[in-house]
Structure 1
Amino acid sequence: MVSGWHAGRTWRLWLSAICVMVAVLGLTAGHAAGAKSYEKVVWVPVEHQIEQGLEKFLERAFSEAETAGADLVILDINTPGGEIGAADAIGQLIRQSPIHVVAYIDNQAFSAGTYIALNANEIVMTPGSSIGAATPIDLAGNAADVKTISGWSEKMAQAAALNNRNTDIARAMVEIDREFPGLKEKGTVLSLGADRAQELGYADQIVANKKELYAYLGVQADRVQEINPTMGERVARFVTSPVVMSMLLIIGLLGIVVELFAPGFGIAGTVSLCAFGLYFFGHYVAGFASWLHIGLFLLGILLMIMEVFLPGGIVGAIGFISIVTGLIMAAYDTQQGLASLGIAALITAIVTFLLIKKYGLKKLFNKFILGDVQRNEAGYVAPKDQRDLLEKTGVALTPLRPAGVVRIDGMRIDAVSVGAFIAAGTSVRVVQVEGTRVVVQEIESKE
């Protein structure tokens, strides 16, 4: 009886040992299977506002990463949001990339930044960082229309579903006028801190810093290659921002208007050309503007200048259309281009009205209409019909040797004598008028 008991105990011990060994081997195998191993890693910053210039930069970054044979891209996201159109294109770029993408949020990924993060394969956050608050807003800073919010909510939900994240949480980050029990009340939008995000499955890991991030990913720091925007791409990102784009158009148009009220070509004209030049340069570097658009703008300027010498208004109208077409076509989006140009045109119209009110229309029209007489200080006096002076008499105000000045009908007239010297104070008569040339002759006194 005792030996049987011992035999049973021995078998139970052996069985327990085998189970423990199997469990250890299983855990080891599972850890080995799940361990990350990346040979070539690329670090790409996603900072500041999300706009079309950022999209072009990321296109280059992902292209270079693929060419270099990278197997991991880390997007260092720190953004308050931006254009949903640009974010949508960036999300598509991430989804279509064959490279594993990790969104590293070390501060904030709001609005459009949230959508970009959701398209990544993993989301890693730092303590104190936040994600969410993705309600689209219009140019006035108010919530967008129902159609836009509904469409963007669906986009967010689809992005969340890519990695099996709760789609209701993504919708709660967008929709204001809807209550999500346990997430948010009606009239608010959802944003998540790092701990809450991890709890709800919107953060795969929380790390303190880059060193811990590399440890989590199994990455050696010396294998990480940073891809940063070039100077041209930084300028393009700045210029293609809707606010900056509108400001450049406002400065450009205002410069033209102020130049019309100022004599000669001065500071206003120079500033205007610089503003338009920066506008086209930024959009050209970003890949939106082409030489065709720049050519249309320059042709329009040329036609507007020609209008000064070719009356009728047709040439000027064609020039205006050419300028507007070039500016709008150079923008990344026709609707945005029209909106920015419309805002600039409205502000320019208000300033033009104020300048006309102060200086009058004559000051403006004198830039386009050649008057009969201009000031002598301008260096030119337009020809005047003086044929009515023929046979009139007057007095020489200065000696004529043979040129001088005479007074006829109370007016000072530049004149020349027939050939002989005429002393000042001598009575003279106009004997010939040829354009601006007035010829006088001394009136001999009768004895």
Structure 2
Amino acid sequence: MKNFFLPLLAIFCVLNASPAQSAQNIQKGDVVVVPLQGEVAPSMFLFLRRVQKSAESAGAAALILEMNTYGGRLDSAEQITNLLNRTQLPTYTFINTNAGSAGSLIALATRHIYMAPVSAIGAAAPVLASGDDLGVTARDKTISYWSALIRGSATRNGHNPDVGEAFMNKEKEVKIGERVIHSKGSLLTLNAQEATEAIEGKPLLADGIADSVGDLVKKAALQGSVVKIEPTGFERIALWITALAPLLLLVGIIGAYLEFKIPGASLPGFIAAICFALFFLGHYLAGLAGWEVVGVFVLGVCLVLAEIFFFAHSTILVGVIGICLMLGSLLWAMIDRYPGQTFFPTGPMLRVPLVNLLVAILAALAAIAILARYLPRTSVYRRFILSADIPAGPSLDTAPREFVPTAAVAPGLKGLAVTTLRPSGKARFGQHVVDVVTEGDFIPAETPVAVISTDGMRVVVKTSTS
């Protein structure tokens, strides 16, 4: 059974020593800087979500996005935009040096924008992954949807919604008072000087120009220590792990079943532990799970083991509680919950986690039913059972193989366990080797036993105390 816990311990010890833990070192009042570099992708969303949740939980003073991107996936930009629009933290974007395409949409979801002296923001026209233009219908639908989203996000954060829409829609004119800032016919792109130009007493878009993050902190009069959280590189791994969550749970459940079904085999338990460890690791890196769910899962495992080894004849309550804790921790690890939300998740929060868990459980039950039927017939299973049950020493082949009537094995008769009773096995009574079963206890070989009762060919024994 130690093989089940060692991979869990090893993986989480490695994670504790990794840079991923830096997000947990945010203190109350800190100014948290998050670099958003390169392509806007799902891994960027996972990284930002993890850091933002940590910053909110710690009570950080502000969140600064240090941005340098030419754009990327619109679906990831939408996820990041929704993430930023839901936070109560003061949010800043420092454009150093590009906020192109999807990057400009993310910047509009923060309350304050600062730009490096040589920088640009805008040009957010949607294109195919290959770089080619969308078809007319697809382009019109995409621009219509995103224009509405951009306007809402810009308005919420105090930016000019017309400027945001003109980043994506070349048919949008930007006019302030009598002055036309941008005419129809091309996408709007602003440099630092244009974005900070005061028009009718208010900057067109950006609050100011800053040479660095430190300069931004001074100009924005932010207080507190500046803490920069770097991406770990694990976010891409987390993306795959969270996507494969049902498969990891399926293999983990089957491995745990085989560990108990074939006590002599350690590989199934090791594989199960790896699967569960990767499951929790991926959801932690994705900003979904914390260490508390791991503790609940381990507690559930301990209760199930206690039920098997200590309470097998008295109650099933301990085991049921353990199973509930394990399933609850697996479900909780997949729920996207933010600080300040109610303890009990809502229906939309539960939908995907419940589907993943139910798919894994149903598939595992089907696989276990098949294994229970056909596994005992395989040579691999018989080899493990024999190696586990037959102790070293003379072969049992020389033992008399004869039918022993139950009358010859009466309650109170004492003998010796020949094999480990798990709970079934063989025991010797005088010159006879008999198939016996315990009431659920595991009894090692060479242990004195006594017959409790007989029922036809079934002989029930227990450890003999005298």
What TM-score, normalized to structure 1? 0.48
Tell which has more relative contact order, 1 or 2 (C-alpha 8 A, sep 6+). Answer: 2
What TM-score, normalized to structure 2? 0.46
Larger CA Rg, structure 1 vs 2? 1
